[in-house]
Amino acid sequence: MIFLQIRHSISVLIIIIKKKSLIKTRKARLRIFLWIVSNFITNTVSSLLWLIDSVFYPEYKLINIKRIAIILGQPRSGTTFLQRQLCKDKSNFTGVPHFFWRFPSIFLYKLLKKTNLLEYFNSIPYWSQKRGSIANKMHSHVLGDVEEDGIFLEEKFWSHFFIFRRIPIPEILPLIDDWERFDQIKKNKIIKIHKQILNKWKIINSCEENVTFILKENDATDFVKYFISKNTDVTIIFLAREPKEFLDSYLELSIQSTYSKIGLNPININNWFRACIEKRITESKKQINLLKTHKDLIISLNFKNLTLDPLNSIFKIYNELKIKLDLEYIQELENLNKIQSRRDKGYNNKSYNIDLKDFNDYSNYIEQHKKQ
């Protein structure tokens, strides 16, 4: 893990030095540098903890996870809301929290739990306390929250679009947002490490065989495609939202995310806005192709239906997966319906001038599924 990350970080650092004029303030440049250093230290510690697990808990290598569901959709389409809600039903679902993606160690987890420090680390905010209030309203996030697989790709392999929110220089994208740059050996190694992290989480939580792992990804469809090719029992839960709606929200969160992380509004950085739109165009096309290829694996949901009436949307998932809803969880979902009906999100998205013609295929695909 650590050696692959070092090579990428050096390449990215070279570009940062060449393009440092794009990052207007010294504080922002310093925050980028400190994140790179802290990420390197974190992964060094994580690698050492991995070796400890290999000695004291070697059984994690032998576990076979039978049921996996991947939530797929564009950002700001309710994917996080759905993932976290499903994972509240611990008898049927589980998902990996951010802290465990960062430190995937059975040894560390048990140590922190025994010393009563786990709750403290799980409660650490992801967003800056000073600059992240709007970002947190848009996407509440502490390290104990269940999070998408992109955290794994970002923090362990420097291979995810999330890094662009920390280092908003478009020239780094070919280095950090291209799954195909990895050869077959590296891809298989990443998938193997990913699988072993899920295995470790299963051991820690003493999950039953019938528990379904809920994964989620919005920005790395090529990774999802490869993951599905290496696993047999996978269901895709597709969440659809109209392009104009998710794009406005996505751009606003991207701005707030970068501001929270480095104290800089990236909107005026040359080609930043276009890079964000191009990413969404590319991922929308890749998602459609993936969904058409695996149409027998799909459970389709709609963003508005999910957020206004989560009970019926989630009931559809249980029905498709042949899982029985227990009374206590039904009551929780009924209460969630009431909460959603009177929810005040606490922020307003700006309306951005976006040419939507490149999203026509995505819109058409959504319309076709509404009619089914």
Which fold would CATH assign to domain 2-371? Answer: Rossmann fold (3.40.50)
pLDDT at 6 over 80: no
Extents of the domains making up the chain: 2-371
Greater pLDDT, 8 or 111: 111
- Quick one: what percent of the chain has pLDDT higher than 70? 97
Decide: residue 367, CB within 10 A, 0-12 exposed, 13-18 middle, 19+ buried.
exposed
Q: Is the pLDDT of residue 64 over 70?
A: yes
69 membership: H or E segment, kind and range: strand 68-73
DSSP labels, 190-248:
HHHHHHHHHHHHHHHTT--TTPEEEEEESS-HHHHHHHHHT-SSEEEEEEE--HHHHHH
Confidence of residue 120 (pLDDT cuts 50, 70, 90): very high
pLDDT digits (tens, 9 = 90+) for 123-136: 999 999 999 999 99
- pLDDT of residue 145 exceeding 70, the answer is yes
Give residue 372's pLDDT.
55
pLDDT at residue 274 above 80? yes
pLDDT of residue 8: 66
- Distance spanning both ends of the chain, measured CA to CA: 44
Does residue 137 carry a pLDDT above 60? yes
Share of the chain above pLDDT 90, in %: 84
pLDDT tens for each residue of 296-312 = 999 999 999 999 999 99
Q: Cβ atoms within 10 A of the Cβ of 119, count?
A: 10
Indicate the average pLDDT of the chain: 93
Integer-rounded Cα Rg, in Å, for the chain is: 20
Which residues, in sequence order, are CB contacts of 196 under 8 Å at separation 6+? 60, 61, 104
For the stretch 252-263, pLDDT in tens is 999 999 999 999
pLDDT digits (tens, 9 = 90+) for 206-253: 888 899 999 999 999 999 999 999 998 899 999 999 999 999 999 999
Q: What is the structure's pLDDT at 127?
A: 97
Is the pLDDT score of 82 beyond 80?
yes
For tokens 């440049």, the residue is 29
Cα 344 vs. chain centroid, distance in angstroms?
Answer: 24
pLDDT of residue 3: 56
- Are 69 and 237 within 8 A, CB to CB? yes
Cβ atoms of residues 239 and 79 within 8 Å: yes
Long-range Cβ contacts of 29-38 (<8 Å, 24+ apart): 31/261, 31/262, 31/263, 32/166, 32/167, 32/262, 35/166, 35/261, 35/262, 36/9, 36/12
Q: Mind listing the pLDDT tens digit for each residue in 163-199? A: 999 999 999 999 899 999 899 999 999 999 999 999 9
Predicted confidence band of residue 317 (pLDDT cuts 50, 70, 90): very high
Confidence bin at 4 (pLDDT 50/70/90) = low
- Give me 234's structure tokens: 């996978």
